Chains A and B, each alone.
Chain A
Amino acid sequence: MAGLIVYYAHPGHKYSHVNRHMARAAANLPGITFVDLYRDYPRFDIDVSREQHRLLAHDVILFQFPLFWYSTPSLLKEWQDLVLEHGFAYGAGGDRLAGKVMMLAVSGGGPEDAYTLQGYQQYPLRTFLTPLEQTARLCRMCFPAPYVLYASLKAPAAGLVEPHVNGYRRLLEAIRDDRYDFERAERLDVVRFDDLPIREEP
């Protein structure tokens, strides 16, 4: 059984269409650790030692957040800046996270076809996630394909909230139960609720 911690970051929690349902699903899932960052640190005074201990106690670190301006919500950025210290996460002696997994579960407002070279976002989604990907690499962590929902604002009308949340629950359960195929996931671009790389048996 892999140790899984979900970091959820959404300052507009109560207006969320999808993320709050995902968060509730994660929070109610036994056997994993769920952290609502904006609940733990409403005044941004992040407890670095506590967070580092949390990281050490888990194998898979999953950040769940809506994309804001091609990046994480500000508190999650603050968290990275403070917690991923030199000498802890990277640099001389900074190998404490080596071998762990960093995974993302993100939602974007734009539709899938916008995140192409021809679309109005001009780049594939993964391009916008390269800072996080390289953060994981520098910390010698694996970075499997992120779990993605495009056009999240239209998801309720399109009936996609429930399948995405259910897919999220299955994803988290699979990671928890060592049934998630990280090797395959690393080769993928993004994963979605209908193509999750889950094995039947651990």
Chain B
Amino acid sequence: MDSVLLLAVLFLVAGVIAVPIATRLGLGSVLGYLIAGIALSPLLRQLHVDVVSIQHFAEFGVVMMLFLVGLELEPRMLWSMRNRLLGLGGLQVLVTAAIMAFIAMLLGQPWSVALTVGMILSLSSTAIVLQTLNEKGLMQSDGGQSGFSVLLFQDIAVIPMLAFIPLLALPELAAMHGVGSGEGHASLSLVGQLDGWQQALVTVGAIGLVVGGGSYLTRPVFRFIAVARLRELFTAFALLLVVGIALLMLLVGLSPALGTFLAGVVLANSEYRHELESDIDPFKGLLLGLFFITVGAAIRFDLLYANLGEVMALTAGLIAVKVAVLYVLGRAFGVGGADRWLFALGLAQAGEFGFVLLSFTVANSVIPVALADQLFLVVTLSMLLTPLLFILYDQAIAPRFAVTQAREGDRIEEQGSVIVAGHGRFGGIINRILLAAGFKTVVLDYRSDQLEVLRAFGVKVYFGDAMRPDLLHAAGIDEAKLLVIAIDERQSATELVRYVTGNYPHVHVVVRAVDRHHVYELWAAGARDIIRETFDSSLRAGRSALEALGVHPYDAERQVRGFVQNDREQMLELASVFDPSIPAHENPAYVEKTKKYMQRYEEVMRGQSAAFGSRLDRGWVPPTLEDIEAERAAAEAAQRGGGSAPGS
């Protein structure tokens, strides 16, 4: 127990110190974690910590990340990606693997080893690339999307590679090792003893279970859990879902990453999507951080120094070949401008699946241990260099394409979503108006019964409490243009305004206010677009009353408009002196201003002032006879002087 706590403290301290520094220096969080790992490595060696086994554990972060990626991808989007996924991804793996194998053969490796090395090095790091793209907000760019297609294909390609590599076993190594069929997941496999067709059946069954279960079972389970109204239950279920699917996939010999990704895609349409996202996200972040730390900590510097030149040259060669292949393929698939560079530089490293394959190949006697150790260093070094390549892209390449980037930025902004918090009588109407105008909305509501009803009518609403920052984040507040706060609870609305205006100043907030004092509270909290929930309907009712009493409809309209204008001016002035921390009647400035307004009203009522009336009717009151004479005289004088005359 003590050692676990010690280890946790070590990793946490290293991460907490290194990551903010790296981020501040513009290096990105990934490099921060890697550096933290390097800094920790002497200490870990002293404590005899098995870094590699921690790394295997932390790789689960990748599984979670793919689940989250799946959640973001609706099946329709996945289908529309198919060309790039299969074409770009498939060609990248094939061509890179072939070139790498060719080079390995040139360097004197037998063909089977060369082929294995090619496959290992063709993969890129999903963890680093997706993390960095998300961090830099480049995920939605063309380069980001192409990169994602390739990474997804690679993650899927790992499965056939795992099946294929044992066939390449070197007889002499196998003899040395004894028979090793042994990475962790093989020992768990249920299907090892089955025939091929039975295996296929089990595989199809497992995928069917994930898809069917995801489609039909999660909703009732979530509804069952929602009754308890305990947050941690949602988290527990979300974890259970991901871990359970990963286990199922391992049992049937499939990739856990693929399985959870699939589950994510199935649930992408679900109203619980954002809830799941915000529950899993912290675990993913922590595990990936741990993973990056272990990558840094696992660098064997003794080996590195012994072969410094060779390792450096191999790493440089690896990156150069991968950049070249990606660049050419990007061009062939119409990835243009800065995006092509982002795509080529971003995916130029070898990845975490390389580690998995390396240990797998060693265990299966495919490549010698010495070579594997060296490759391990190359893979690690290439990962370590990735953040630097991203910096190169940011500093040197993106600015040169600044014009095209800006145009693409606009396109993304157009899709910038609107978040509607609360889908009751108020938010529902707002949502309908926005949807009718063609805007994308994300609606959050936490009344489960209401969600069922709305879903039945085809309204897309997500389960979740908008008050939770993580859920707002999952709903896309970072990229959102607008947040509509239409929740009933007065205090919650104010808090939400304070949080959002403080943390996301770029988001325009439209907020529903209960009454006049709530307006002031919201104003003090930072809201500037505040709508009183019953104000407009009261105005219409007042207008109807005037019309019913025989007032001409246009006069009634103008009367009400004048009332609104007057009321708004008064509200604005009073809001500037309102202090939510003291009651209105104990606020001297507020009392003073209110008195002044009441006095002015009374004057208007008694006919002593025309301030209100004159503004209302200004323009339609005809001039007096004296005015006309004066006007005429002036006009004639102007005409004699050559000017033109107004009025008719």
| A interface, CB within 8 angstroms of B | 11-15, 17, 36, 38-39, 42-43, 67-70, 108-110, 114, 120-122, 128, 153-154, 157
Q: How far is the CA of A101 from the CA of B360 in the complex (A)?
A: 93
Q: A38-B553, A38-B554, A42-B557 are in contact. Are A69 and B632 (CB under 8 A)?
A: no
Q: In the complex, are the beta carbons of A12 and B619 less than 8 A apart?
A: yes
> Which residues of chain B from 625 to 648 have a CB within 8 Å of any chain A CB?
625, 628, 632, 635-636, 638-639, 644-648
Q: How far is the CA of A110 from the CA of B633 in the complex (A)?
A: 12
Q: How far is the CA of A128 from the CA of B636 in the complex (A)?
A: 19
Q: In the complex, are the beta carbons of B648 and A70 less than 8 A apart?
A: yes
Q: In the complex, are the beta carbons of A110 and B648 less than 8 A apart?
A: yes
Please, which residues of chain A bring their CB within 8 A of the CB of B160? Answer: none
Q: In the complex, are the beta carbons of A42 and B620 less than 8 A apart?
A: no
Please, which residues of chain B bring their CB within 8 A of the CB of A68? Answer: 648
Q: In the complex, are the beta carbons of A109 and B647 less than 8 A apart?
A: yes
Apart from A120-B638, A122-B645, 12 more pairs, CB < 8 Å: A15-B620, A39-B554, A42-B557, A70-B648, A109-B648, A120-B635, A120-B639, A153-B622, A153-B623, A153-B625, A153-B628, A157-B625
Q: How far is the CA of A167 from the CA of B638 in the complex (A)?
A: 36
Please, which residues of chain A bring their CB within 8 A of the CB of B554? Answer: 11, 13, 38-39, 42
Q: In the complex, are the beta carbons of A42 and B639 less than 8 A apart?
A: no
Minimal beta-carbon separation of B642 from chain A (angstroms)? 11
Tally of chain B residues near chain A (CB < 8 A): 24
Q: How far is the CA of A122 from the CA of B647 in the complex (A)?
A: 12
Please, which residues of chain B bring their CB within 8 A of the CB of A122? Answer: 639, 644-645
Q: In the complex, are the beta carbons of A121 and B621 less than 8 A apart?
A: no
8 contacting pairs across A/B (C-beta < 8 A): A12-B620, A13-B554, A15-B617, A15-B622, A69-B647, A109-B622, A109-B647, A153-B625
Q: In the complex, are the beta carbons of B645 and A121 less than 8 A apart?
A: yes
Q: How far is the CA of A122 from the CA of B643 in the complex (A)?
A: 11
The 6 closest A-B pairs by CB, nearest first: A12-B620, A38-B554, A42-B553, A42-B557, A42-B554, A120-B635
Please, which residues of chain B bring their CB within 8 A of the CB of A128? Answer: 648
Q: How far is the CA of A70 from the CA of B636 in the complex (A)?
A: 18
Q: A42-B554, A43-B557, A110-B648 are in contact. Are A120 and B632 (CB under 8 A)?
A: yes
Please, which residues of chain B bring their CB within 8 A of the CB of A14? Answer: 552, 555
Please, which residues of chain A bring their CB within 8 A of the CB of B628? Answer: 109, 153-154
Q: In the complex, are the beta carbons of B553 and A12 less than 8 A apart?
A: no
Q: A12-B619, A153-B623, A157-B625 are in contact. Are A42 and B645 (CB under 8 A)?
A: no
Minimal beta-carbon separation of A70 from chain B (angstroms)? 5
* B556 on the A face (CB < 8 A): yes
Please, which residues of chain A bring their CB within 8 A of the CB of B556? Answer: 42
Q: In the complex, are the beta carbons of A17 and B622 less than 8 A apart?
A: yes
Hey, what's the 0/1 contact readout for B65-86 against A, CB within 8 Å counting as 1?
0000000000000000000000
Q: How far is the CA of A148 from the CA of B636 in the complex (A)?
A: 23
Minimal beta-carbon separation of B88 from chain A (angstroms)? 49
Please, which residues of chain A bring their CB within 8 A of the CB of B647? Answer: 69, 109-110
Q: In the complex, are the beta carbons of A12 and B622 less than 8 A apart?
A: yes
Q: In the complex, are the beta carbons of A121 and B620 less than 8 A apart?
A: no
Please, which residues of chain B bring their CB within 8 A of the CB of A43? Answer: 557
Q: How far is the CA of A39 from the CA of B551 in the complex (A)?
A: 10
| B interface, CB within 8 angstroms of A | 552-557, 617, 619-623, 625, 628, 632, 635-636, 638-639, 644-648
Q: In the complex, are the beta carbons of B557 and A12 less than 8 A apart?
A: no
Please, which residues of chain B bring their CB within 8 A of the CB of A109? Answer: 622-623, 628, 647-648
Q: How far is the CA of A11 from the CA of B621 in the complex (A)?
A: 10
Q: In the complex, are the beta carbons of A108 and B648 less than 8 A apart?
A: yes
Q: A14-B555, A69-B648, A120-B639 are in contact. Are A154 and B625 (CB under 8 A)?
A: yes
Q: How far is the CA of A13 from the CA of B647 in the complex (A)?
A: 19
Minimal beta-carbon separation of B544 from chain A (angstroms)? 12
Minimal beta-carbon separation of A190 from chain B (angstroms)? 15
Q: In the complex, are the beta carbons of A114 and B625 less than 8 A apart?
A: no
Please, which residues of chain B bring their CB within 8 A of the CB of A108? Answer: 648
B644: nearest chain-A partner, CB-CB: A122
Q: How far is the CA of A186 from the CA of B619 in the complex (A)?
A: 34
Minimal beta-carbon separation of B557 from chain A (angstroms)? 4
Please, which residues of chain A bring their CB within 8 A of the CB of B639? Answer: 120, 122
B557: nearest chain-A partner, CB-CB: A42
Give the residue of B552, B622, B632 whose beta carbon is less than 8 angstroms from that of A39.
Answer: B552
Q: How far is the CA of A39 from the CA of B554 in the complex (A)?
A: 6
Q: How far is the CA of A67 from the CA of B639 in the complex (A)?
A: 21
A70: nearest chain-B partner, CB-CB: B648
A120: nearest chain-B partner, CB-CB: B635
A157: nearest chain-B partner, CB-CB: B625
B620: nearest chain-A partner, CB-CB: A12
Minimal beta-carbon separation of A110 from chain B (angstroms)? 6
Q: How far is the CA of A65 from the CA of B453 in the complex (A)?
A: 53
Q: How far is the CA of A17 from the CA of B553 in the complex (A)?
A: 20
Q: How far is the CA of A42 from the CA of B638 in the complex (A)?
A: 37
A17: nearest chain-B partner, CB-CB: B622
Q: In the complex, are the beta carbons of A13 and B621 less than 8 A apart?
A: no
Please, which residues of chain B bring their CB within 8 A of the CB of A154? Answer: 625, 628
Please, which residues of chain B bring their CB within 8 A of the CB of A157? Answer: 625
Minimal beta-carbon separation of A170 from chain B (angstroms)? 26
Please, which residues of chain A bring their CB within 8 A of the CB of B636? Answer: 120
Please, which residues of chain B bring their CB within 8 A of the CB of A69? Answer: 646-648
Give the residue of B555, B621, B645 whose beta carbon is less than 8 angstroms from that of A120.
Answer: B645
Q: How far is the CA of A11 from the CA of B619 in the complex (A)?
A: 10
B637: nearest chain-A partner, CB-CB: A120
Q: How far is the CA of A39 from the CA of B550 in the complex (A)?
A: 11
Q: How far is the CA of A154 from the CA of B555 in the complex (A)?
A: 25
Minimal beta-carbon separation of A23 from chain B (angstroms)? 11
Minimal beta-carbon separation of A20 from chain B (angstroms)? 10
Most buried by A among B555, B617, B648: B648
Q: How far is the CA of A11 from the CA of B620 in the complex (A)?
A: 7
Q: How far is the CA of A109 from the CA of B556 in the complex (A)?
A: 26
Minimal beta-carbon separation of A13 from chain B (angstroms)? 6
Q: How far is the CA of A17 from the CA of B622 in the complex (A)?
A: 9
Q: In the complex, are the beta carbons of A13 and B555 less than 8 A apart?
A: yes
A151: nearest chain-B partner, CB-CB: B628
B646: nearest chain-A partner, CB-CB: A69
Q: How far is the CA of A43 from the CA of B560 in the complex (A)?
A: 12
Minimal beta-carbon separation of B147 from chain A (angstroms)? 50
Minimal beta-carbon separation of A201 from chain B (angstroms)? 38
Q: How far is the CA of A129 from the CA of B556 in the complex (A)?
A: 31
B633: nearest chain-A partner, CB-CB: A120
Q: In the complex, are the beta carbons of B622 and A121 less than 8 A apart?
A: no
Most buried by B among A39, A42, A154: A42
Q: In the complex, are the beta carbons of A15 and B645 less than 8 A apart?
A: no
B553: nearest chain-A partner, CB-CB: A42
A156: nearest chain-B partner, CB-CB: B625
Please, which residues of chain B bring their CB within 8 A of the CB of A11? Answer: 554, 620
Q: How far is the CA of A14 from the CA of B625 in the complex (A)?
A: 18
B547: nearest chain-A partner, CB-CB: A42
Q: How far is the CA of A108 from the CA of B632 in the complex (A)?
A: 13
Please, which residues of chain A bring their CB within 8 A of the CB of B557? Answer: 42-43
Minimal beta-carbon separation of A179 from chain B (angstroms)? 32
Q: How far is the CA of A17 from the CA of B360 in the complex (A)?
A: 99
Q: How far is the CA of A153 from the CA of B466 in the complex (A)?
A: 62
A125: nearest chain-B partner, CB-CB: B648
A69: nearest chain-B partner, CB-CB: B648
Minimal beta-carbon separation of B397 from chain A (angstroms)? 51
Q: In the complex, are the beta carbons of A39 and B553 less than 8 A apart?
A: yes
Minimal beta-carbon separation of B629 from chain A (angstroms)? 10
